[in-house]
Amino acid sequence: EVQLLESGGGLVQPGGSLRLSCAASGFTFSSYAMSWVRQAPGKGLEWVASISGSYYGTNYADSVKGRFTISRDNSKNTLYLQMNSLRAEDTAVYYCAKDHFPNVAPRYVSFNLWGQGTMVTVSS
Amino acid sequence: SYVLTQPPSVSVAPGQTARITCGGNNIGVKRVHWYQHKPGQAPVLVVHDDSDRPSGIPERFSGSNSGNTATLTITRVEAGDEADYYCQVWDISSDHLVFGGGTKLTVL
């Protein structure tokens, strides 16, 4: 079955760190760029970061650049998001998402598969 | 940074046609994608590359894009179409992916 399964969310204090994981199955993981998208409570979708399939090029939203790191292990079919210096405004459901088509340039990206999301709460 | 503007809400009676707009500067030269998002569920891609439908998406869903406005059209609206809808593009100038603010579709 084609699916994405996030894990690693939870409650963390401001300034703390958390690492999210996204386990992929049912498709050739290394052929697809992957992304993290979040939704704060009562707010809309917000792109966080993207990573290409094989050469590992990355892009980040300005709100997380320098604090978050997206990475992947193609041997484990797993996507990661290392989140440091967390702030209250990072509180959100974090989704991992798969590009619709393999090996496409970022300007063509759309997401045809999403995980169910993992909740991250930053609070003291 | 590139901004996509959507109406906060759209209401339509069952069986009628809903049109959700997404405004952006010269958006017509970009590829626009649309997502349906229901509470507690993962978002679903309903239209990609302006007007293409992924497999499994009903023909009732269609898209267009020209000038400064992209539009998602849902014909013969059903109660199950009630959801938040988001447009999305990639902004080449900033190398950022951008979502619109979302539109809540209410089926009366």
Is a pLDDT exceeding 90 seen at residue A112?
yes
Q: Do B97 and A100 touch (CB under 8 A)?
A: no
Percentage of the residues of chain A whose pLDDT score is greater than 90? 90
Does B104 have pLDDT greater than 80?
yes
Rounded to the nearest angstrom, the minimum Cα separation between A109 and chain B is 7
Q: What is the pLDDT of residue A56?
A: 73
- Contact between residue B2 and residue B24 where contact means Cβ atoms under 8 Å apart: yes
Supply the pLDDT for residue B95: 92
pLDDT in tens, B5-38: 999 999 999 999 999 999 999 999 999 999 999 9
Distance, in Å, from the CA atom of A122 to the CA atom of A115, rounded to the nearest integer, reads 21
Q: How far away is chain A from the Cα of B31, in angstroms, using its nearest Cα? A: 7
Enumerate the residues of chain B whose CB falls inside 8 A of the CB of residue A107: 30-31, 90, 92
Main-chain phi, psi angles of A88, to 5 degrees:
-55, -35
Q: What is the pLDDT of residue A55?
A: 72
pLDDT top residue among A107 and A8: A8
User: How would residue A6 be classed by pLDDT, with cut points 50, 70 and 90?
Assistant: very high
Residue A104 confidence (pLDDT): 83
Closest CA–CA distance from residue A59 to any residue of chain B (Å): 7
* Tens-place pLDDT, residues A52-102: 887 778 999 999 999 999 999 999 999 999 999 999 999 999 999 999 999
Rounded mean pLDDT, A106-117: 92
Q: What pLDDT, on a 0 to 100 scale, did the predictor assign at position A106?
A: 79
Neighboring chain A residues of B33 at a CB cutoff of 8 Å: 110-111
The predicted structure's pLDDT at residue A38: 98
Quote the CA–CA distance of B81 and B78 in Å, as a whole number. Answer: 5
Instruction: Kindly report, residue by residue over B38-85, the tens digit of the pLDDT.
Output: 999 999 999 999 999 999 999 999 999 999 999 999 999 999 999 999
Sheet holding A3-7, edge to edge: A3-7, A18-25, A78-83, A68-73
SS3 B79: helix
Q: Give me the pLDDT at residue A103, please.
A: 85
Q: Is B28 helix (H, G, I), strand (E, B) or coil?
A: helix
Q: Is B45's Cβ below 8 Å from some Cβ in A?
A: yes
Burial of B59 (0-12, 13-18, 19+ CB in 10 A): exposed
